[in-house]
Structure 1
Amino acid sequence: MEFQSPVRHASPSFQKLRGALALTVVLASAYFAAPSWAQTPTAPAPAQAPAAATTTSAAGGEDQGLNPTAVRNVLIVIALFVVPIVIGNILAKSLKMPDYGWKFAVAIGTLAAAAVVVALGEIKLGPDLSGGITLIYEIEKREGSEQAAPVEAPPLNEKEMAAEDAELEEEGAEEVAEDEKDPAAEKEGFASLNRSDTMAALIKALIERVDPAGTKEVSIKKFGDDQIEIIIPKAEKAELEAIERRIYTAGVLEFRITASRQFDQHRAIIELAEALPANQNIIRIDGKEVARWVEFDEKQFGSAEQAAGTLVVRTTSKVPQALVLTNDGLNVTGEYLRSASPDVDQTGRPAVTFIFNSQGAFRFERLTRAHQPAPSGAKYNLGILLDNRLLSAPNLNAVISDRGIIEGLDDQAEVDFLVGILNAGSLPAALNKVPISRAQISPTLGQLTIEKGKQALIISLALVALFMVVYYKKAGLISWLGLAANMLLILGSMVLIKAAFTLPGLAGLVLTVGMSVDANVLIYERIRDELKKGAALRMAIRNGFNRASQTIIDSNVTNLITGVVIYKIAPDSVKGFGVTLVLGILMSVFTAVFLTRILFDVAERRGWLKNMSMREFIGETHIDFVGWRFASIAASLVVIAIGLVAVFSRGQDLFDIDFTGGSSVTIVFDDDKKTPYAEVYETLEKTPLGSANLSLVEVGDDNTRYTVTTINDDVVSVENILKEAFGDKLKKYQVDIEEVKAFTPGEQTSALPWTKSPSTFLGLGIASPLSYVTLLQPAVTDGESVPPAEKESVTADPAPAEAGSPPAEPPAVAEDTAQPAEAAPASTAESADGKADDAKAAAPAATDAAASSAPVVDPFEGGASATLKFAADKDGDVSGVTHDTLEQMISDALAKAGKADVMFAVTNEDYREGSNRPMEEWQVSIALPPAEAQAIFEQLAQETNTLPVFPLSSKIGGRVAGQMATSAIAAMILCLIGIIAYVWFRFHGVIYGIAAVAALIHDVLVTLGFVALSSYFVNGAGSLSSALLIDKFQINLTLVAAFLTIIGYSLNDTIVIFDRIREVKGKSPRLTKEIINLAVNQTLARTILTSFTTLTSVIVLYIFGGAGIHAFAFALLVGFIAGCYSTIYIANPVLLWLAERFEGGAETVTSKAA
């Protein structure tokens, strides 16, 4: 009866637990399934589409039934929540451990959930592992308010304005209100927004530009008061230029009347403008802006002399400028655009068509109506400006309301760029064109780093597991299972929260291997103590876990403080370490205290563990550690003093570009042109880099790869210096072109996704004009819609093309207008006659007819195909290129040849859309004759084969460096304050916190000194330093993370000893030398063992982790050794001294030991 009593009392609680878990299952099922069920399985009905088509689509949707994704999600939830409960109860009954049912359920559920998340999810990689770039831009500071509030325009008086407003209210007020808020009012509101709101709006706008589809996993966030950090993973150098241009282009589109000497009302303003100094651009009358000098596009208008026939021009020391008027009072800008799309002008050149919303159409009509041709025949010019640059200025011949066209663009790439900018909207704040910090890593280098990280992790796991099994035998096997569970839970958590693995994060994972078994060591040594006291095995296990648990929690809380501080303060390059550190700590405590406890209890109950036979390398000791306090403190002071002398001697050379600003570039030599370190350094000293705080670090040991660091923050300049200094020795890209032959129809049809958007196969990756959609898609499939017909225009037949080739240009657009503006399609009064509506109704039918009757023509028929091979070497430095990079390279080659509109396709049977995997071989089809295609490919190869391989290049500006230094100092101070507060709270005495911090400061100073001394060691003992893998280390952000880790981890052993001091002291009113010695001797074995397991992981990281975290591992190695020393010889003597001085010789702490 006594055995059943706990079960009877636990039953109500267990029933409640089961009820709560059942409710959790229902809620979780709804949560996972709702989004999937909410997805409408039917395609939206096309605008103006026939009713029959809509009905068919809906009917098709009804037959689809339940969404398979929703069903799968429900099954996963049931498997993760219901199955573990059932299995847990079955195990509890079969093992005759009825009170362990919920424990089994939690253990099985968490491990199963982690496994499912890892299997079904995606492990994200940061830019330092996947390849990519980290940019920091500063918000541009402009003088005064040059974009002033609009002023009243002379052409319209107040009565006319009021009349027009009344007309708008009567005819279109409801449409305007429905359409959107007044963008002008919103834009003016930006001036009144506080800094955080402006930053939030800027970040949102940048995301729309850089990653509108959300597929690139771009991270954009605030960095400092006036800076934005943009992280773009999975990108190579060639494909980043267009992205960077979209970032810094403000995208402010304006429509202004250009000044002209033909009109009397312009002459006074022109005189004021021409009298303005060359360094001033704004013309004001009575404090209000009335005109502005802007740069104009010389490719559109010609030279300044040629443009003077149309524009009022001045030539400054920089660029020629044209005068535009800003006193129209209407402020027609891109804020009023409804959409923008690619088009062609009347000569067949690329152009952009734009359509206004109701507000914009009203304002645009008033602007054009007020500037109709004069009776003399003189015409006004409508200037179209983008970011204060005049793109075109067509003559105004008629009133235009809701649409227009931007001409004078270079090629299709320029069109696509402008369309993307206009559709995304202007930025609420402009960014400086040049980023103040730039760090770029190639995907191949990231892949090598991942391989080294995996190697270090596997070796660390194997060595630590082997030690635990050898030393603790059966208990070691249990700890190995706990370690495997810990790794699974960390990975699952990382995938679940969508945290990206970075290089420091990989280091944190390796470090977690050693730290996670520290808890097992503390538990096992406690169990050993209990067994020595004569306790039975079950009681020893219970007491060992119970008494060690509080110590484990105490020691890990300090690590947790460190991890949280790193995550909150550090930039993304180091933040990954904070994430893995925090998750590692939480999962280590969970697995050690909960999961391994279950395994021990089951093994003991089932008789699998009848005794706890463990090895004991360190027996009972009676060492007078405190007696050596004066000698140990003196030795520490000497080491610290030597280190500080080295710190001040190295000066600025001690700090990496993270804190000084500058550039870092990795160079790679050809395998047959290996160059020793001394020769490389000597060559660099003769260049301008020699006097720019030069630092050289060899990556690997084969004399082929080096990282050059300098305070010169011009990365391009540094790369050019390196290219000039080493010339042909540097490894270069290598492109081989297979035979270029005529394209065979059907050759690559299976590889091209014809049923998807044409953007899949167009080289520029941008949606094609409607004509190409019609040609390439014979029918509209489910899930796709027919593009609505544009107002006042219909699609005509495609322009005739030669047999076997794509159309020379998109179909001509027939404008239904009476008198269009020159060079600009415009709406006129005819739109009110109903012709536009007729065209709109007829467009879908015309499109459907064209789609059904036109044959599907292979766009590459009559073109050429070739295979491009990118050479690979044994190191994998040049192991191919990605799909997007090759597309960009071909696009650039076509643009330089004046063939930017030519279609091409890049395929590989192993390529999957969106993949960032570099491949050595690609098949390219291009809509050009073989001879012309051969010339394009040769141009691509010629330019590519001369480019040196720079796997890593980064730039850090001075302001960013200063902020990083401030953040680093703040992080350390916060860590120390947090540790003092926690230890004070936990041990009820501030002297414990002060003593602990004294030891931590000792560890950081010793580590700092060894980092500073590394330079002198390399110079004085070159061969020995190479054997010991010691480089000329510098302090960077990763090293700061190492210092913070030392602060958190070194406290672990100190807390263990402090906890034993409190236990030994008991209720004694005095803290004596004997009490401290006894506590240190009793915990000596676990202090050495925990340090040994962690040092094993750090040594593996130091040897196998790679150059990216070599300095990090070196600092941890020195810091952990110093921490083990200071725990015994610094913290305890300081604690004793504080107790004697500030507690009157008697410590009165009476709290009970955990």
Structure 2
Amino acid sequence: MHKSFKTFILIAIVLVTCALAIYPPKKNLRLGRDLAGGVNLVYSVNLNQGDNADEVIGRMIEVLKERVNPEGLYEISFVQQGRDRISISMPLPTKEIQQLRDKFQNAMSDLEDYVIDRGAFERALRLSGPERLAALDELIDNETSGPRADLIAPLRAAIEHADAARAEYDAAAANNLTDPAELSRLEEEAAVAQIDLDEARQTVADQLVSAEEVRRALDRSAETITVPNKATGQPESIESPRETALKAIKARADWAAAEVEKVVTEYNNYNANRRGLDDPSDLIRILQGAGVLAFRIAVESGELTPAQEEEYRKAIRERGPRAANLQGLVWAPINRIESWFNDITDQQFLVANPVGFFARQGFVGEEYNGIYYILLHDAPGLRLSAAEGDEWAVSGASSTTDQQGFPAIAFRMNPRGASLLGQLTSDNMGRPMAIQLDDEVYSRPPNINGRITSQGQIYGNFTPSEINYVVRTLGAGSLQAKLGTQPISVNNLAPELGADNLAKGLTAGIISFIIVGAFMIVYYFMHGGVAVIALLVNGIFILGVMALARAAFTLPGIAGVVLTFGMAVDANVLIYERIREELLRGEDLRTSVRLGFQKVLSTIVDGNITNLIVCLVLAYTGTPEIKGFAVTLGVGVVSTMFAALVVTRFIYTILIDHIKIKSMPQLPLVLPVIEKTLTPNIDWIKLRPLYVVVSTVLVGTGLFMIYQQREELLDTEFRGGTAITLNLTETQTRPDGSTHIVPAILPRDQVEARVRKIADEAKKRIDAGNPEENDNILVGLVSSLDVLVVNPEEGGINSSTFIIKTPITDQEPLEGAIATEFADNIAGFQPLTFIGSDAESVADAPVYEIIDASLGASIGRPDIRNNVGEFIGGIAIVLDQLDPPLPRVEIEERVSEAREKGATSSLMLDRDIRIVVLEGTDDRATSAAVLVRDPAISQFDQARWRAELRDPEWNIIRTGLTETASRLSIQSFSSEIASTFRGQAIVAVILSFLLILIYIWARFGSIRYSLAAIAPLVHDVIAAIGLIAMAEILYHKFPALGEYGIRPYKIDLGLVAAILTIIGYSLNDTIVILDRIRENRGRLNYASRRVVNESINQTISRTLITSGTTLFALLTLFVVGGEGIASFTYALLCGIIVGTYSSIAIAAPFVYVKKLDASDAPHETPDADSPST
């Protein structure tokens, strides 16, 4: 009882832990991108001139993988696109998280509608008379009371007073008033009224706040800062940076405080329920820091003249930190300002006097928008950064302690980095050196006391989580190229299976589970009930571990679950078949159960360990999708052994020892005819010639089919190709007769049919003997097409946006043909005109250098007062008299698309861009300015400024606005990247074969047994791939077969998972027979004909039951599961049938040794009670 109680406690702890981890399942069980949908981010990469793009981006992808998803548990994929793009895909959050996020975003939208836009405010004040007052009233939705009305009221009164005073003066002047004193008085009153108006205007402007300011405040850290208080001897908490920023916003704009608080409340609800990478913003935030290390000498207090220092302070205050970086100096943000505090009085002094605080520390510092910056040198000889080349790098990082025993980060440099760092430190001995990670200063710059070469430290007041973050980032490597600060495109992708297919697949899975469970109960009676309980425990264990590990279920992961349940059923069948053998020998139930478990122990362990070997290899070498399969299957291997050897054994102990059950019959014991049928006496070795014929046909056909199809077998992931994004629209007529463009919602099937129509028409022209130029290319769409739904409507199959994927690499014919077919549903940009749009020379174009914080001062229109301080040094392209007028968002969209298509380097896409409406409204701008600035290009270098900033930006933006533009988005998939995926999959499978061979050799003591395990696997893989290839050929020859599930399947990551599942299942089947052969041969060192035949006959019932139940489950999935998993289940059906055959026809005869066949020489047989070894 004592042992049983301990087992019960163990099982209870495992089940309760897993159940708590699973519940609620909608929240804790994550679905991968291919099951739940996902987001796709496309980033530009800033490459240096002369870089090998493929090599640099390849290394960059590896670093980002290590940084974002080091364990490979999340389905986040990185794919190079073109020369300087990286496409990153991740799963979408759960519906509950989406709802919370939507509430937050709605609150942000409400705030944006509520607050007064600065640009609209300035435009309103540029009007005059009643129009100005009407425009102001419109800004506050014509409210006559409330916070906004109270804010505007003094300004309205000042406008009315100024207008009246001005009108009175103008009237007097027009009537030639002869009294100079009176005219002077009226002029002075008008001037005073205008001054009062300007002050009232500035008062309102100072209180304006934007939704973006609130968003930036929310993005700041919410962690409360703890600072020591030497006076009390106790630590003192000060508010977090987020709280400080929000408090400042509410204090400045108290009229909007209530609306801001609503946003904060919704954000807190959303943020409290987010899990890891549940939102694309998480991924964007992580990717914004690229792990680039730099060393710069800090500017010391007093090093600059007071005039120089004030010039730099004025620059950061008016232009912002990026725009203020000129003439070899740079403003660098401090990562954790609290690491600079020794006492609460330091923090108070910093808040009250930032300049004095940093001066007392010996540095030049400044505060900008709540963030603190210090001034660093950025000139050769005073820095070690990416500007010194890409040969130097960080070779590793780890946590350590500094000289005072506080936590620190140790880093190591490669040889080139050690040389450069040694030169920098030896030339600047005694000066402070800042260590930057992704441009941020991570510790107070210490004075250089000695030459630093291969090793160094970053120290400061770090928390353990910060140390882990920095160590992990540095350990991933220092990137040569940096991602753009924001993605250049964001697309939400529908799951490739489709919502309908996923639902069908789950339904089919449940049906299969119920029917298999029912069969086990009908065939094994009470034993079957035990098996069902063990299977449920197995499922809970798998789900619980996946939930605890925060791992996502994907289609390849489902393959792991299918194999796990198959092996779990198989383990119970092995046990029950052994129990029945012992019962037939006359043993009682207790002894039969004990011997049954004892004799199958090695079989179950061997079968699961060999599968675990496959899991470990795939987890180490596989792609993220294959890792998903490996993790799920690995968990399943452990779960299967736990359920079979612990849970099942515990249940039998309770039934036999405590409930005192004396008999547990099975159907073959009740109906002996079944037992006789399932225990044949067949000479399997005699059938070897037949096996040779059958296997030759299977393998030969497989190889021929593979050769025949070659790359046609592969999907886009493995062969490269093209993806075209369709944004479909249609024109609708309003009740007033006007028209407007709205998204055109179409079903996926209709879009696919229209694309296939292109190929059908091309084929007709080819068959008729009058092909057009690109018909030979377009006809390929018939057999190589995948249409994905983007941002689907409810139901998951209807949308206005689709991605068409095809292995065809020639983009131009595809783009032209698809644009023609969908001409009525593709909204292209119509050409615009504006003053200067026909200028042939940039000198004659409306392009201005931004030289002042007020936009009007730079473009010669002093009435325009928009603050553009952060764009000083950039350009303003003025679009006057826009025809037709456009909404501001459409101008942004057109400019963004024009720059993306016309950019001559990825660096252009990282520039600061803003659209300012000069006349009209945001919904209908008649005049606007496009502001562009590149912080890396100084206006003092006019030759470079003109050649790299002004001229190319004008040419690109002018062309994009004045010419018709297609809205098709074309992306290509690199064949090199596809070959990398292929190589990884092949290496993983081969390495798995090798390790399995070694394990079986060690376990069975013979290379013959190792080869007997590997040969069927190779046989099964070739045969299964051949049958997959044959399906496509049959489909094209006999299209009617499509109704029965025979379709042109392609080998994608899902089918790779299916092939791996076949390997695992076949291997398990083979080991069952080999283990029985090993047991039956006893002490003999070879397997005779009798031993092999007897072993197969003894295990044939297990083989038929396990294979039969698995095949039935797969048939249910194939018929009911829908198109999304049809290819997966088709491959498994082929593989399971072939795998069952190969275990009997190849594995068992492979170990046969003919030594005793010529005589009846005596041989030793094992004792019936002896365990298998």
TM-score (norm 1): 0.50
State the partner residue of 1:590: 642
CA distance in 2, matches of 1:680, 1:643: 32
More off after superposition, 566-575 vs 1009-1018: 566-575
CA distance in 1, matches of 2:1034, 2:894: 55
State the partner residue of 1:1066: 1082
C-alpha contact 1:654 1:1035 (8 A) present in aligned 2: yes
CA distance in 2, matches of 1:674, 1:222: 25
Match of 1:1124 among 1135, 1140, 1162: 1140
What is the SS of the residue equivalent to 1:358? Answer: strand
CA distance in 2, matches of 1:143, 1:1135: 62
Q: Does 1:695 align with 2:783?
A: yes
Q: Does 1:649 align with 2:678?
A: no
More off after superposition, 684-693 vs 644-653: 684-693
C-alpha contact 2:40 2:493 (8 A) present in aligned 1: no
C-alpha contact 1:490 1:584 (8 A) present in aligned 2: yes
State the partner residue of 2:760: 682
Match of 1:1042 among 1045, 1058, 1068: 1058
Match of 1:601 among 640, 649, 653: 653
CA distance in 1, matches of 2:37, 2:1099: 46
Per-residue CA deviations over 1:321-340 (Å, capped at 9, x if unaligned) read xxx9x9x9x74346567799
Per-residue CA deviations over 1:100-132 (Å, capped at 9, x if unaligned) read 111010111111111111116622222222322
Q: Does 1:1032 align with 2:1048?
A: yes
CA distance in 2, matches of 1:1096, 1:145: 56
State the partner residue of 2:678: 619
Change in Cα spacing, 1:567 to 1:1139, as seen in structure 2 (3 Å) is farther
State the partner residue of 1:272: none
C-alpha contact 1:437 1:957 (8 A) present in aligned 2: no
Q: Does 1:116 align with 2:20?
A: yes
More off after superposition, 99-108 vs 706-715: 706-715
Change in Cα spacing, 1:1028 to 1:890, as seen in structure 2 (3 Å) is farther
C-alpha contact 1:1071 1:1146 (8 A) present in aligned 2: no
State the partner residue of 1:545: 597
Name the aligned partner's letter for residue 1092 of structure 2.
I
Name the aligned partner's letter for residue 623 of structure 1.
I
State the partner residue of 1:258: none
Per-residue CA deviations over 1:363-390 (Å, capped at 9, x if unaligned) read 89x99xxxxxxxxxxxxxxxxxxxxxxx
Q: CA deviation at 1:991?
A: 0.5
Q: CA deviation at 1:506?
A: 2.6
State the partner residue of 1:105: 9
CA distance in 1, matches of 2:550, 2:638: 17
Change in Cα spacing, 1:138 to 1:474, as seen in structure 2 (3 Å) is farther
CA distance in 1, matches of 2:285, 2:2: 66
State the partner residue of 1:284: none
C-alpha contact 2:560 2:1061 (8 A) present in aligned 1: no
C-alpha contact 1:1140 1:1146 (8 A) present in aligned 2: no
Change in Cα spacing, 1:986 to 1:205, as seen in structure 2 (3 Å) is closer
C-alpha contact 1:130 1:443 (8 A) present in aligned 2: yes
Change in Cα spacing, 1:659 to 1:1013, as seen in structure 2 (3 Å) is same
What is the SS of the residue equivalent to 1:1030? Answer: coil
Gaps of 5+ in 1: 1-96, 147-193, 209-215, 255-299, 301-323, 341-351, 368-401, 403-423, 733-792, 794-807, 825-888, 900-926, 937-946
More off after superposition, 599-608 vs 978-987: 599-608
C-alpha contact 2:1066 2:1139 (8 A) present in aligned 1: yes
Q: Does 1:332 align with 2:329?
A: yes
Q: Does 1:1111 align with 2:1163?
A: no
Per-residue CA deviations over 1:705-735 (Å, capped at 9, x if unaligned) read 999652235889857744533666x899xxx
CA distance in 1, matches of 2:539, 2:970: 33
Name the aligned partner's letter for residue 90 of structure 2.
I
Q: CA deviation at 1:537?
A: 0.5
State the partner residue of 1:1153: 1172
State the partner residue of 2:452: none
Q: CA deviation at 1:611?
A: 1.8
CA distance in 1, matches of 2:753, 2:88: 36
C-alpha contact 1:653 1:693 (8 A) present in aligned 2: no
Query: Alignment length, in residue pairs?
Result: 686
Aligned-residue identity in percent: 32
Name the aligned partner's letter for residue 1172 of structure 2.
A
1:831-870 matched pairs, under 5 angstroms: none
State the partner residue of 1:1000: 1017
RMSD of aligned alpha carbons: 6.1
Change in Cα spacing, 1:585 to 1:551, as seen in structure 2 (3 Å) is same
1:269-348 matched pairs, under 5 angstroms: 331-333=328-330
Q: Does 1:968 align with 2:985?
A: yes
Q: Does 1:516 align with 2:568?
A: yes
CA distance in 1, matches of 2:750, 2:1049: 29
Q: CA deviation at 1:1018?
A: 0.8
What is the SS of the residue equivalent to 1:535? Answer: coil
Gaps of 5+ in 2: 99-104, 106-278, 295-318, 338-367, 384-433, 435-472, 669-673, 727-745, 765-774, 789-794, 828-852, 854-862, 876-885, 897-916, 927-964
Q: CA deviation at 1:595?
A: 0.6
Q: CA deviation at 1:1077?
A: 0.6
What is the SS of the residue equivalent to 2:1080? Answer: helix
Q: CA deviation at 1:546?
A: 1.7
Q: CA deviation at 1:438?
A: 12
1:106-505 matched pairs, under 5 angstroms: 106-119=10-23, 122-133=28-39, 142-143=48-49, 219=76, 230-234=88-92, 331-333=328-330, 357-360=373-376, 428-430=480-482, 441-442=493-494, 447-505=499-557
Change in Cα spacing, 1:894 to 1:634, as seen in structure 2 (3 Å) is same
1:42-121 matched pairs, under 5 angstroms: 97-119=1-23
Q: CA deviation at 1:1069?
A: 4.9
C-alpha contact 2:42 2:489 (8 A) present in aligned 1: yes
Name the aligned partner's letter for residue 114 of structure 1.
C
Per-residue CA deviations over 1:280-322 (Å, capped at 9, x if unaligned) read xxxxxxxxxxxxxxxxxxxx9xxxxxxxxxxxxxxxxxxxxxx
C-alpha contact 1:1000 1:1051 (8 A) present in aligned 2: yes
Q: CA deviation at 1:1052?
A: 1.3
Change in Cα spacing, 1:109 to 1:361, as seen in structure 2 (3 Å) is same
Name the aligned partner's letter for residue 107 of structure 1.
I
Match of 1:1012 among 1009, 1029, 1033: 1029
Q: CA deviation at 1:1135?
A: 1.8
Name the aligned partner's letter for residue 783 of structure 2.
S
C-alpha contact 1:457 1:509 (8 A) present in aligned 2: no
Q: Does 1:990 align with 2:894?
A: no
C-alpha contact 1:995 1:1132 (8 A) present in aligned 2: yes
CA distance in 2, matches of 1:356, 1:997: 64
CA distance in 2, matches of 1:649, 1:1020: 15
What is the SS of the residue equivalent to 2:722? Answer: strand
Q: CA deviation at 1:1098?
A: 2.5
Q: Does 1:557 align with 2:653?
A: no
State the partner residue of 1:638: 697
CA distance in 1, matches of 2:647, 2:1114: 26
TM-score (norm 2): 0.49
What is the SS of the residue equivalent to 1:1136? Answer: coil
Q: CA deviation at 1:1080?
A: 0.6
CA distance in 2, matches of 1:890, 1:719: 28
C-alpha contact 1:131 1:233 (8 A) present in aligned 2: yes
CA distance in 1, matches of 2:688, 2:489: 48
Name the aligned partner's letter for residue 332 of structure 1.
L
Per-residue CA deviations over 1:186-212 (Å, capped at 9, x if unaligned) read xxxxxxxx999988876799899xxxx
Change in Cα spacing, 1:602 to 1:570, as seen in structure 2 (3 Å) is same
Q: CA deviation at 1:436?
A: 15
CA distance in 1, matches of 2:924, 2:328: 50
CA distance in 2, matches of 1:664, 1:221: 16
Change in Cα spacing, 1:488 to 1:657, as seen in structure 2 (3 Å) is same
Q: CA deviation at 1:643?
A: 2.4
